[in-house]
Amino acid sequence: MTANSSPRHVELLSRENCFKGFYRVDRLNLRHEQFAGGMGPELNRELFVRHDAVCVLPYDPVNDRVVLIEQFRVGALDKSANPWLLELVAGLIDKDEEPEEVARREAVEEANLTLTELHPITQYYPSPGGSNERVYLYVGRCDSDGVGGVYGLAEEGEDIRVHVWSVAEALAAVKDGRIDNAASIIALQWLALNRDELRSAWS
């Protein structure tokens, strides 16, 4: 390996499934190439195996408003005074579907909302130190007039309240910490940087 190159080689010694439910946990025993050259020591790592996810920020370019959803999140229960989070429309790719299909389906299920266009923002790993989940992030064109209410699939225990906010209100909620989850922060900051161009293309 040259001084400016990056390690590439990983030697997987063993992989064992420790738990399998809706999600899965595997235990991996491995070694990987190091920056200084050669293989490093043997490592044991638990990997949270998840379906990939799709998140979409519904945006109304005519009225310059976004649609956000609010729902209970068990992951925030121990560390937040309020575990009902403001989020993007989102869902898992747990069937034979393309990410854009999931975005459109979840917009209907979670917000009773039709997305007329989708623009990809980015793809990213939210927690690669321990999970293999990859997130596909979009902004979706919508008409926010008359949008609101409580939706979600009863058979999945979903109880989702829909909010329509101005972009300024949403960005203020990012700034003061009311919106505190990665996908929402990334999408809203992207919109702040690209809003004029997007409105010109979509209006």
**Which residues are the active-site residues?**
156
Q: What dihedral angle (degrees, nearest 10) is formed by the CA atoms of 153, 51, 82, 164?
A: -60
Q: Which amino acid belongs to residue 17?
A: N
Separation CA 120–CA 139 (nearest Å): 6
Q: Is 192 helix (H, G, I), strand (E, B) or coil?
A: helix
Q: Which amino acid belongs to residue 200?
A: S
**Main-chain dihedrals φ then ψ at residue 167, nearest 5 degrees:** -60, -40
Number of separate helices (H) and strands (E) present in the chain: 3, 11
Q: What dihedral angle (degrees, nearest 10) is formed by the CA atoms of 8, 11, 12, 13?
A: -170
